[in-house]
Chains A and B, each alone.
Chain A
Amino acid sequence: MEHHYPDFDVMAQKEHWDKHTQQIVERRLEAPMYQSLSGDEITTLSSLCSTLIGDNRKAVLDYVMSHFDNKLISDIGEGQRQKELPKFGQLVRLGLKALDGYAKSTHSARFHQLTEQQQSELIQQLIDQDPKLDVDGVRMKAKDFLSMIHTEAVAAYYSHPTVWSEMGYAGPAYPRGYVRTERGLTDPWEAKRRA
């Protein structure tokens, strides 16, 4: 996809960041080491995330997948959960199963086996019709499941330095901060639009 800042690489600035931030961001470039997701879950979730964020580049998707895997093994709470929804882990796993079931019923194939266009159309259909999905005795609305995956996928995707670079987001700024903050001004190390 075309963007304004083809010459900007936020990671070229990393030695100007504090160590803790460097570690956090650099870890996002590592390949996933799955501890929770496996087999069909990985292929389905990966295709679903790719559809929802509109980007199928492996390097970026890898981090999105790591984010889900980490969340699934974490014992940190969910912040909030709507009364009628199953717990996060259950929602993800059952939802993925239900999505494959739905794809099989409409296209006789699992979700990741569909073309990108078919995947997008199927997601649009689920959003528009919001059917109740039944799986393993649990009932959930398609949109509740998709919305949860979307929110988490977006949080991870927009935390990836490649995506930061494309948006011209200068990212971490400690210890140096910003000197030129007013309209029309940029610090020398910030992204410059290609004329």
Chain B
Amino acid sequence: MHNQDPVFHNIDHVAGRRRPDLQHRKYTDGADICIVGAGAAGGVLAYELSKASLNVVVIEAGPFWNPQTDFASDELSMQQLGWQDTRIVSGSNPLTLGHNNSGRGVGGGTTHFTGVFLRFHEDDFRTKTMDGVGEDWPVAYEDLEPYYDKIEKEIAVSGPKHFPWGPFQGPYPYPEREPISANAQLFQLGCEKLGIRSVVAPLAINSAPFDGRPPCINRGFCNQGCLPNAKFSTLVHHIPKAIGFGAEVLSDCMVTQILTNNDGRVTGVTFVHDGQTYQQTARVVILASFVIETPRLLLHSANAKFPNGLANSSGWVGKAIMPHSSHDLYGRFNEEVRLYKGTPVLALTQEFYQSDPSRGFARGYTLSAHGSRPVEMAKGISKKLKLWGPTLRNKMLDYNFYGRITLVGEVLPDDKNCVTLADEKDEYGIQLADVSFSYGTNDKALIAHAVEKMHEIITAAGGTPEFLVEDTAHLMGGCRMGNDPASSVTNSFGQTHDIPNLFISGASLFVTSSGANPTNTVMALAARTADYIKDTLNQRSI
């Protein structure tokens, strides 16, 4: 396949099955399932539901990437793997969006995530009961456990023989990665000296050949798209398999409206491709369009029957969004660390994951050794003009001598952190999302504790902590699940309380954020939703 215009190519990737006008599609007369968004959740759903012989259409706003010709070993140009459409940001800690926490195109965020593949712990699903903060989930760890097992096996997660924290202690389906990077070695050395246990990170990256994909070559550009296809993404794993089972993927198609009928059920969606508007009808619609676009679409689709937006009788659509606090600490070493080499995250610790009342805050965090490249480091350490001119340039000339640790810290849900509609409109006439976020007191205390630990680890490893970069990672919440329709948007399967054939999948369902990378939990929840939809469609009860 030769390189073509990244916006339009691959639109007819199901060769011979689609005409360019998109009036003639595989399921023009209606599908069983219409999934909005082809990311971590949408990929799993498309795969599971098409495998069950359901007619599945996946509508994705971005391109159908071809890694070999669209990805590159370059930070700046690969920003395009993030959702770059403008959002308005507000609050005391306005979020950085785009590549920082979202995906665009088939594969969604999995095309550029670090591949860190952790489970949540039992307590993550009952923070209210355990710590009196946040809210309990309507699912327990035990409900998700079989799905974690399934997903990890399905994509051959590599990891240590023994994982010392939480209910799952290994072994992982594939052996842990080796060799690790100098940065990961220094992190483990610092931890060791302080008596902090650390492990080689569990990763959705091949440590040996798997499913026709090669092992990792330590190129290090996980966040820019994996060229050898050694890292899992739904682009290279679930979506091609789903197409094999008959699913149709409509890429470069922006869903603009969810359609409902007089009975208060959804009938399908409208979408725009190349300036033309089309309709896709379906028995079930699943929004797997992440934390900002899902509530935006629900709010924008308001009509006479649902004046406050679809599935929003509770008023919780768009509320309680959470990033992870993700501060970075760069430390200067006397030796070259070369943060560009190897998979970015190869070692981590969850020693501070559990709540500990003696620390003065609830909940906890994961610390990871985290690689970095020149653009990311320079932008980070100079944020808000902290460094500029010759001072910045001088520091960056020592780039090879820095190591880095990154926080994944739990942020508590707060209904004031929310997605609403702004006045300004986009090219489709849809109001932009206004995303408001401010840290709470507990969040700040947790960050302070983590930053101190990061200082200690870098110092123990022989480094000098130099630059603390305030940052966030991931997004969760905004359409939380729950047992009470008055204070949640969906049930534990992602089925909206208000509209039985409208589902939500993905990180937007999260009730709390945990202190761990979310993708494993996103995919496990999606697999559970898929089982539920298969069962209920069989019983004809949707």
Contacts and interface: CB of A to CB of B under 8 A. Distances in A.
A170 B97 CA distance: 28
Contact of A82 (B69, B77, B90, B186): B90
B31 to A, nearest CB: 30
Interface in B141-187: 179-182, 185-186
Contacts of B539: none
Contacts of A184: 182, 335-336
B121 interface: no
Given A54-B393, A156-B76, A169-B400, A178 B3 contact: no
B212 interface: no
Contacts of B335: 183-184
Interface in B25-75: 68-75
A20 B66 CA distance: 12
A182 B335 CA distance: 12
Contacts of A154: 375, 378-379, 382, 392
A2 B73 CA distance: 27
Contact of A158 (B72, B80, B100, B374): B374
* Listed residue (B70, B88, B95, B342) with the most chain A CB atoms within 10 angstroms of its CB: B88
Interface stretch (B216-224, B273-281, B448-456): B216-224
B378 to A, nearest CB: 5
A166 B393 CA distance: 11
Nearest to A84: B90
B435 interface: yes
Interface string B363-398: 000000000011101110011110011111110111
Contacts of B179: 181-182
B14 interface: no
Interface stretch (A30-38, A39-47, A104-112, A143-151): A143-151
Given A4-B397, A146-B385, A181 B375 contact: no
A164 interface: yes
A150 B185 contact: no
A20 B69 contact: yes
A25 interface: yes
A137 interface: no
B87 interface: yes
Contacts of A162: none
A5 to B, nearest CB: 8
Nearest to A143: B385
Contacts, number: 197
B23 interface: no
Nearest to A88: B86
Contact of B217 (A3, A53, A163, A178): A178
A79 interface: yes
Contacts of A188: none
Interface in A19-76: 19-21, 24-25, 51-55, 67, 76
B431 to A, nearest CB: 14
Contact of B219 (A77, A83, A167, A174): A174
Contact of A51 (B82, B100, B338, B389): B389
Contacts of B100: 79
A159 B76 contact: yes
A193 interface: yes
Contacts of B87: 79-81
B340 interface: yes
A37 to B, nearest CB: 19
Interface residues of A, number: 64
A92 interface: no
Given A81-B86, A167-B399, A169-B340, A54 B73 contact: no
B395 to A, nearest CB: 10
A168 B218 contact: no
Contacts of A164: 374
Given A174-B227, A181-B182, A158 B74 contact: no
Nearest to A20: B72
B219 A173 contact: yes
B223 to A, nearest CB: 14
A80 B96 contact: yes
B500 interface: no
B400 A4 contact: yes
B434 interface: yes
Contacts of A51: 388-389
Contacts of B220: 173, 178
Contact of B396 (A17, A123, A151, A167): A167
A158 B69 CA distance: 23
A177 B375 CA distance: 20
B71 A80 contact: no
A55 B393 contact: yes
B185 A178 contact: no
B73 A172 contact: yes
B390 to A, nearest CB: 4
Interface string B1-35: 00100000000000000000000000000000000
Contact of B84 (A21, A79, A174): A79
A158 B86 CA distance: 24
A177 B218 contact: yes
B393 A1 contact: yes
Contacts of B68: 18, 20
Nearest to B400: A168
A54 B392 contact: yes
Given A159-B75, A163-B374, A176-B217, A81 B400 contact: no
B98 interface: yes
Given A76-B80, A173-B73, 7 more contacts: A77-B85, A79-B99, A80-B97, A82-B88, A123-B388, A181-B341, A182-B185
5 contacts: A24-B74, A55-B393, A80-B87, A80-B88, A173-B73
